[in-house]
A and B are shown apart, each in its own frame.
Chain A
Amino acid sequence: MLFTSYGFIAFMAAVLVLYYLLPKVCQWPLLLVASLAFYAIADWRYLFFIVFTAASAYLIALKLESIEARRKAILAQSPDMSKEEKKALKARHKAAQWRWLLLALFLELGVLAVTKYTNFVLENLGKLFRDGRFHAIDMIVPMGISFYTFQTVSYVIDVYRGKQTAQRNFLKLLLFVSFFPQLVQGPISRYGDLSKTLYGPHPYDGKAVSFGLTRVLWGYFKKVVLADRIITAVTALIADTAQYTGTYVFVAMLFYAFELYCDFTGGIDITIGLAEAMGIKVAENFNLPYFSKNIKEYWNRWHITMGTWFTDYIFYPISVSKPMLKLSKWSRDHLGKAVGKRVTVYLSCFAVWLATGIWHGAAWNFVVWGLMNFVVIMASQELEPLYARFHARFHVKGKAPYEVFQIVRTILLMSVIRMFDCYRDVPMTFKMVGTMFTRFNIHVLWDGSLLALGLTGADYGVLIIGFFIVLGVSLYKARRGSVREALYRKPRAALYGVMAALALVIVIFGAYGVGYDSSQFIYNQF
């Protein structure tokens, strides 16, 4: 069920109504049933995968905890243990825990790897060896597997690290793994965060419900009115690589940046808003990312839960691992301090961005996309002394025009890198981005060519107004804070009025359904 289908809207409404009508003890079981149903409606076979992942995490987390409990029991029984004995005991138990953790990672990431990447590997082996025996096979890829696997992995690691107590109720853990609003596109929640509010009970709270639904409507506005409208032009532009070169690529780049922003943040708004309406707090995934002044900041504000996941579970463990520290020490001694300092950061960053790229999709485009991010981040890191000198001479730092310049620069840079997930393959992307500089056809911006991309003048009108609405709301958020709180301080009709207006705008101006087209009527034939 797509978020934008009538089915999902009905499903959401039914769950919400039942959620507050049923006795409060039924709230989280209702969500579990709804989540499994949501999954089963897509394809009932998916259930096996998600239950397997949840069950293995459940059992291994309990095992990890019992090993730790045993150590504590031994310590309590023998108070006169020497420091060395204690250390040895800890090492022994840690080693046992480590083996269980590895098993968990193997099972969970294994399912992810097999379902999502088998075909990628097979196809590339086929190309490499020019052997027809390696070809893609028909395989089910469970919906949202990247997201729920990451959630589950973070849960097990947190238990391993002693940051989190294990959940004893399997069904509760299953709900954490399968919670339907975030199943398809995240955010990637941490058990410690989500579990605080996931299981309730939540008495009906009018404010929470109206706030949540306002956010859901805002999400639909961005998704249905803006993203689903502009996607027509984006698709047209990237489909015809022969015709749409030069300035068209630039247009495609900006349109895609806008589409992706509206689609992704809109979807997340629907997720978080729906949860909020049920009293559940889901982690924020975006913090006005297009106001970032540099790429590093951008990645702290865009798809935040993914970024922190990679930082906490890949970047830190790799960079502080014993071999890495040793390598760092060795290079410091043999290659000098400058290299020694960098080697950890570079290697860990490389690993993270490689993983991020692969996680986004099983294709070379994404690998290159990830590595481009790595290159840009490292370059800006290296250029920092230069920036410092620049700022010492020219006092523009913190001034509005310079900040706007930084923001625009960041958006453009991110948009260029993102072209890798638009075009067919890596060479094509390089070629198309190249034409931006070699083909001079800027006149297409005003000679009506943009009206041949499947969007009418009226559509552009909606997009332009929508763009300024989104920009206005973002600026308000950046400067004054929550728009909803501001509305809430006014008479209640103001918030309700905004909700009604959003609903109306979505229904009328949404780009959904079979467009009415009287030309479909082939009159003469009948």
Chain B
Amino acid sequence: MDTLLSILRSIHPEVDFELCDTLIDDSILDSLDIIAIISEINAQMDVTIPPEEIVPENFNSAEALWDLIERLEDE
């Protein structure tokens, strides 16, 4: 989780990722941010997020993203 938070903060230092759960709905993350995050996750955590998982529900909060990562690691 900490790795994830540091990745997120490196992209948007001004956002409180532990609290915010409308990252997509409020257009805080755009598509460029999303792929930056995905490639960072891939590089640092060795998890590949497939395109079908790029939906608002999975990216709206750090927690949702963390759940997704855990689920993908599990499969």
Contact = CB atoms under 8 A, between A and B. Distances in A.
A332 B43 CA distance: 9
Interface stretch (A12-20, A134-142, A277-285, A340-348): A340-348
B48 A316 contact: no
B42 interface: yes
Interface stretch (B15-23, B28-36, B63-71): B28-36
Contacts of B52: 161-163
B39 A344 contact: yes
Interface in A273-311: 296, 300, 311
A349 B33 CA distance: 12
A461 interface: no
Given A163-B52, A322-B48, A325-B42, A300 B27 contact: yes
Contacts of A344: 35-36, 39
Interface residues of A, number: 27
B54 A320 contact: yes
Contact of A319 (B35, B40, B55): B35
A328 B43 CA distance: 8
A312 B75 CA distance: 23
Contact of B31 (A162, A315, A317): A315
B49 interface: yes
Nearest to A326: B42
Contacts of B31: 311, 315-316
B27 A319 contact: no
A5 interface: no
A300 B24 CA distance: 13
Nearest to A308: B31
Given A300-B27, A345-B32, A325 B39 contact: yes
Contact of B51 (A90, A316, A381): A316
Contact of B75 (A87, A162, A163, A315): A87
Contacts of A296: 30, 32
A325 B48 contact: yes
Nearest to B49: A320
22 contacts: A161-B51, A162-B52, A163-B52, A163-B55, A296-B30, A296-B32, A300-B27, A315-B35, A316-B31, A316-B35, A316-B51, A316-B54, A320-B38, A320-B39, A320-B50, A320-B51, A320-B54, A328-B43, A329-B42, A332-B43, A345-B32, A345-B36
Interface of B: 27, 30-32, 34-36, 38-40, 42-43, 48-52, 54-55, 75
Given A316-B51, A332-B43, 13 more contacts: A163-B55, A300-B30, A317-B51, A319-B38, A320-B35, A320-B38, A320-B51, A325-B48, A328-B43, A329-B42, A341-B36, A348-B35, A381-B32
Top 8 nearest A-B pairs (CB, nearest first) are A161-B52, A319-B35, A316-B51, A317-B51, A328-B39, A325-B42, A316-B54, A311-B31
